[in-house]
């Protein structure tokens, strides 16, 4: 009973993604077989080679006959873009993580330990802003960025992504700081440490696991974001590039599947490595 | 006891004036960024929804009172699209919650391979929404998709069916694709809630002779209410705002059978550069989401009575 239920879930989770994985090892000429096979008949790495811009053995294109290589050759410019775009996504993600953690850590610490005029309002505003959709913000942000001449630059994404990563980070980190005993600060104060010193030397080292979990979540959000990347840039990050591939006639499914698999390797690895931290952080971030 | 005194001491130190100023300075950068990137754009969007904004979006344009909204309310496309958005969201919310809850309950039991299944749950969740759309577009494809292959092997269909070209199927397929990812997140969050549930309550109830469904209704469900409320609010937002999956799978088609409000907004802003109407649509969608969120909180949230 339990095992049949488990089997149903395994099928539900794995089948769609399995098809992408198996297609990425399939020769384009073998893709139409019916009923659609579970495994590629003669597995090949060519899709990955093409998508990563590594030359294949027979890359000469005979127009009208060798549709596969001609198609790939015709779209080679954008094919090689995958590696560059992955790099862009990493840079944007790293910058968003850096700026978000830099200002959210001190704000979250403040919300956990101090009270000032409007601090309760600020906390509620932050929680509420987690559910304000990007669709409501996108037009003014788009116009700001155009006036500042920042459209089509990484800054467009770094700035706009901070609008949704910052509230997330503040809420998660505030919950994390709440769990750190105030004894630490009192002991530090007795030793004559200033408030800023205490934060830097006593609290931050204890908060490292929380900072890592938050950083990973922020990076994932940045890596996954598509809408802002679509409207603020010209296919600058991976999801936007893949969306562009979708509409290209010359770009076939086997190539796209290889690109898709490559694109989800970084987030999948991150999630697998940090799974325990992330789920705890997410549960605490949404649970309050 | 100890916890209480910690909290008391924290409250005490929170109140001091000089500490208050220090706290304010720490929060100031975030306050400014949230003002600039959230509060001001949100207010501007509401503001622009009452104007005819020039196509470049700069400047105020002409004040039209509520004409933009009147235009929407008199427009059949707006109503049809709103209903479609709500329908899509309902499939998504119910699907994600039910499947996620089932998965969480299953994973809360002990069985061989439990950790493997738990590990698999994070796979769809690690996929960006757009990639979820790509994966499902080809999985459900009418010529080469594996879904058709599986259905054919099971003798459920005799010919390949093009789900995404069939208007009545397309909305279901896109909603199911989105559910595929969200159900895994729901499962992870509800599982985290289940694992904090003291086993003794459950055991005591089974000693008292409560059946498995009774125990679920009277023990598990009340325990999960707070988590379930949050999860459902998230589902309402993600369901109503869904854009990426639709963009990858159907581009709103065939016809307008998967054109959701999010898609209309995108077109008004970035294809017709009609910022006034687009803003009015965005405000309308935000209001629908607000109402949906409130309904979810009202129906699900109760104070836990133990």
Instruction: Please state the domain extents for chain A.
Output: 2-76, 79-287
Please say if the pLDDT value at position B176 is more than 70: yes
Contact A167, A126 (CB under 8 A): yes
Question: pLDDT at position A192, please?
Answer: 77
- Asked if A9 has any chain B CB less than 8 Å from its own CB, the reply is yes
Can you tell me which residue has the tokens 């997330």? Answer: A168
For residue B230, being part of any structural domain is answered with: yes
Please say if the pLDDT value at position A79 is more than 60: no
Mean pLDDT computed over every residue of chain B: 86
Q: How confident is the model at residue A269 (pLDDT cuts 50, 70, 90)?
A: very high
For residue B57, being part of any structural domain is answered with: no
> Could you report the per-residue pLDDT of B118-156, keeping only the tens digit for each?
889 889 999 999 999 999 999 998 888 899 999 999 988
Question: pLDDT at position A158, please?
Answer: 95
For residue B294, being part of any structural domain is answered with: yes
For residue B205, being part of any structural domain is answered with: yes
- Per CATH, the homologous superfamily of domain A79-287 is MetI-like (1.10.3720.10)
ipTM of the complex in this document: 0.88
Q: Closest chain A residue to B46 measured between Cα atoms? A: A136
Supply the range of the domain harboring residue B215. Answer: 65-300
Question: pLDDT at position B12, please?
Answer: 58
**A84-93, A130-139, A221-230: which range is least confident on average?**
A130-139
Question: pLDDT at position A227, please?
Answer: 94
CB contact under 8 A, A16 and B113: no
CA distance A92 to chain B (A): 16
CATH number for the domain spanning B276: value is: 1.10.3720.10
Average pLDDT score over residue span B213-225: 83
Please say if the pLDDT value at position A286 is more than 60: no
Contact A72, A255 (CB under 8 A): yes
Average pLDDT score over residue span B264-291: 91
Of A129, A239, A286, the CB nearest to B38: A129
For residue B87, being part of any structural domain is answered with: yes
Question: pLDDT at position B235, please?
Answer: 92
**A11-25, A229-243, B196-210: which range is least confident on average?**
B196-210
Cα(A273)–Cα(B188) distance, rounded to whole angstroms?
Answer: 16
DSSP state of A131: T
Choose the mutation target among B11, B16, B32, B34 for the interface with A, i.e. most A CBs under 10 Å: B34
CB contact under 8 A, A114 and B44: no
Highest mean pLDDT among A71-80, B105-114, B232-241: B232-241
Q: How confident is the model at residue A67 (pLDDT cuts 50, 70, 90)?
A: very low
Average pLDDT score over residue span A234-257: 86
For residue B28, being part of any structural domain is answered with: no
Of A36, A132, A195, the CB nearest to B144: A36
Write out the DSSP string of B214-274.
Answer: HHIIIIIHHHHHHHHHHHHHHHHHHHHH--HHHHHHTTT-STTTT--HHHHHHHHHHTS--
DSSP state of A207: T
Contact B51, B61 (CB under 8 A): yes
How many C-beta atoms surround the C-beta of residue B191 within 10 A? 22
Question: pLDDT at position A150, please?
Answer: 92
CA distance B204 to chain A (A): 23
Q: Closest chain A residue to B273 measured between Cα atoms? A: A139
**A52-61, A177-186, B249-258: which range is least confident on average?**
A52-61
Of A6, A15, A102, the CB nearest to B146: A15
Q: In residues, how long is chain B?
A: 306
Please say if the pLDDT value at position A59 is more than 60: no
For residue B167, being part of any structural domain is answered with: yes
Q: How confident is the model at residue A56 (pLDDT cuts 50, 70, 90)?
A: low
DSSP state of B63: E
> Could you report the per-residue pLDDT of B265-276, keeping only the tens digit for each?
999 999 988 888
Given the DSSP bridges, would you call strands B51-52 and B62-63 parallel, antiparallel or unpaired? antiparallel
**Count of domains forming chain B:** 1
DSSP state of B165: G
Question: pLDDT at position A47, please?
Answer: 86
For residue B2, being part of any structural domain is answered with: no
Q: What angle do CA B129, B135, B137 make, to 5 degrees?
A: 100
Q: What percent of chain A has pLDDT over 70?
A: 89
**A22-31, A194-203, B79-88: which range is least confident on average?**
A194-203
Average pLDDT score over residue span B94-110: 92
CA distance B14 to chain A (A): 4
Contact A11, B151 (CB under 8 A): no
């Amino acid at each position: 009973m339990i095992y049949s239920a488990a089997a149903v879930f395994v099928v539900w989770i794995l089948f769609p993604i399995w098809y992408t994985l198996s297609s990425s090892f399939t020769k384009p000429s073998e893709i139409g077989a019916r009923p659609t096979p579970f495994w590629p008949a003669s597995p090949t790495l060519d899709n990955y080679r093409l998508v990563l811009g590594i030359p294949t053995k027979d890359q000469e294109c005979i127009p009208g006959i060798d549709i596969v290589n001609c198609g790939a050759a015709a779209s080679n410019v954008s094919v090689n873009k995958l590696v560059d775009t992955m790099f862009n996504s990493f840079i944007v993600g790293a910058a968003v993580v850096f700026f978000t953690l830099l200002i959210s850590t001190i704000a979250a610490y403040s919300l956990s330990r101090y009270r000032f005029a409007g601090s309760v309002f600020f906390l509620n505003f932050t929680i509420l802003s987690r559910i304000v959709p990007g669709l409501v913000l996108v037009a003014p942000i788009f116009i700001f960025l155009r006036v500042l001449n920042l459209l089509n630059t990484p800054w467009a994404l770094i700035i706009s992504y901070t609008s949704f990563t910052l509230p997330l980070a503040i809420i998660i980190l505030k919950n994390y700081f709440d769990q750190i005993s105030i004894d630490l600060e009192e002991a530090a104060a007795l030793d004559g440490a200033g408030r800023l010193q205490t934060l830097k030397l006593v609290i931050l080292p204890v908060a490292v696991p929380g900072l890592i979990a938050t950083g990973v979540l922020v990076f994932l959000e940045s890596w996954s974001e598509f809408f802002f990347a679509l409207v603020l840039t010209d296919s600058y990050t991976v999801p936007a590039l893949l969306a562009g591939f979708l509409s290209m006639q010359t770009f076939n499914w086997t190539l796209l599947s290889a690109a898709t698999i490559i694109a989800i390797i970084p987030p999948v690895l991150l999630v697998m490595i940090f799974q325990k931290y992330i789920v705890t952080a997410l549960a605490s971030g949404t649970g309050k | 006891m100890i916890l209480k005194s910690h909290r008391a001491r924290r409250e005490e130190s929170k109140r001091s004036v000089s500490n208050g100023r220090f706290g304010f300075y720490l929060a100031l950068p975030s306050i400014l960024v949230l003002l600039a990137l959230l509060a001001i754009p949100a207010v501007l969007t509401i503001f622009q929804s009452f104007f005819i904004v020039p196509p470049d979006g700069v400047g105020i344009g002409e004040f039209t009172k509520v004409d933009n909204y009147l235009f929407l309310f008199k427009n059949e496309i707006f109503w049809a699209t709103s209903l479609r958005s709500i329908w899509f969201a309902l499939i998504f919310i119910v699907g994600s919650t039910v499947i996620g809850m089932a998965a969480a309950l299953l994973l809360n039991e002990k069985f061989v391979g439990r950790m493997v299944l738990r590990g698999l749950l994070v796979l769809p969740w690690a996929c960006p929404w757009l990639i979820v759309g790509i994966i499902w577009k080809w999985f459900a494809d009418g010529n080469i998709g594996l879904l058709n292959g599986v259905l054919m092997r099971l003798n459920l269909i005799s010919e390949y069916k093009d789900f995404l070209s069939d208007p009545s199927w397309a909305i279901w397929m896109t909603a199911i694709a989105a559910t595929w990812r969200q159900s895994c997140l729901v499962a992870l969050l509800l599982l985290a809630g289940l694992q904090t549930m003291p086993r003794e309550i459950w055991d005591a109830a089974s000693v008292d002779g409560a059946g498995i469904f009774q125990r679920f209704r009277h023990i598990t469900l009340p325990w999960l209410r707070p988590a379930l409320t949050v999860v459902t609010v998230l589902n309402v937002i993600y369901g109503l705002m869904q854009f990426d999956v639709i963009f990858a799978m159907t581009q709103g088609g065939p016809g307008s059978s998967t054109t959701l409000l999010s898609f209309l907004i995108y077109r008004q802003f970035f294809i017709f550069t009609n910022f006034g109407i687009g803003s009015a649509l965005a405000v309308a969608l935000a209001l629908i989401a607000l109402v949906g969120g409130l309904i979810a909180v009202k129906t699900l949230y109760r104070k836990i009575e133990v």
